[in-house]
């Protein structure tokens, strides 16, 4: 089974971003603690654009992500965004076909073992 990544941006009024992120912490923690297959689940402030929250999620497989989409944490997080004035989002899912360390013998590389 392939891991699934969710990555993107959520757009929000800058005046509401900090409060939204604070209010969402409980659902981020709940997702990490209570939902099998959740490896990473992060909503954070973009340090260069004050109207953007960055989304990064990593799931063990599609079945785990599908269950998340039916979980109370997912619905509560969406309610939190709505309550704080989300203005849009650009979020995508990715099925991971290969993983490898960025650093090989202490050197950053973009290649994978089958490409070296």
Q: What is the CATH number of the domain that holds 39?
A: 3.30.70.100
How many structural domains are present in the chain?
A: 1
State mean pLDDT over 75-93.
97
What pLDDT does 59 receive? 98
Q: What is the DSSP string of 21-88?
A: HHHHHHHHHHHHHHSTTEEEEEEEE-SS-TTEEEEEEEESSHHHHHHHTTSHHHHHHHHHHHHTTEEE
What pLDDT does 18 receive? 98
- Euclidean distance between CA atoms 77 and 26, whole angstroms: 9
Is residue 103, in this structure, part of any structural domain at all?
Answer: no
Residue 116 has pLDDT above 90, yes or no: no
> Residue 64: which domain range?
4-96
Is residue 102, in this structure, part of any structural domain at all?
Answer: no
């Amino acid at each position: 089974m392939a891991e699934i990544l969710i990555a993107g941006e959520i757009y929000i009024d800058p005046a509401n971003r900090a409060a939204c992120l604070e209010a969402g912490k409980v659902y981020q923690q709940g997702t990490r603690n209570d939902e099998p297959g959740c490896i990473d689940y992060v909503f954070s402030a973009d340090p260069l654009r004050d109207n953007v929250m960055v989304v990064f999620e990593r799931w063990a497989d599609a079945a785990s992500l599908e269950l998340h989409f039916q979980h109370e944490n997912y619905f509560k997080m969406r309610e939190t965004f709505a309550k704080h004035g989300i203005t849009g989002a650009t979020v995508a899912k990715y099925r991971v076909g290969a993983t490898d360390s960025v650093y090989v013998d202490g050197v950053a590389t973009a290649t994978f073992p089958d490409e070296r």
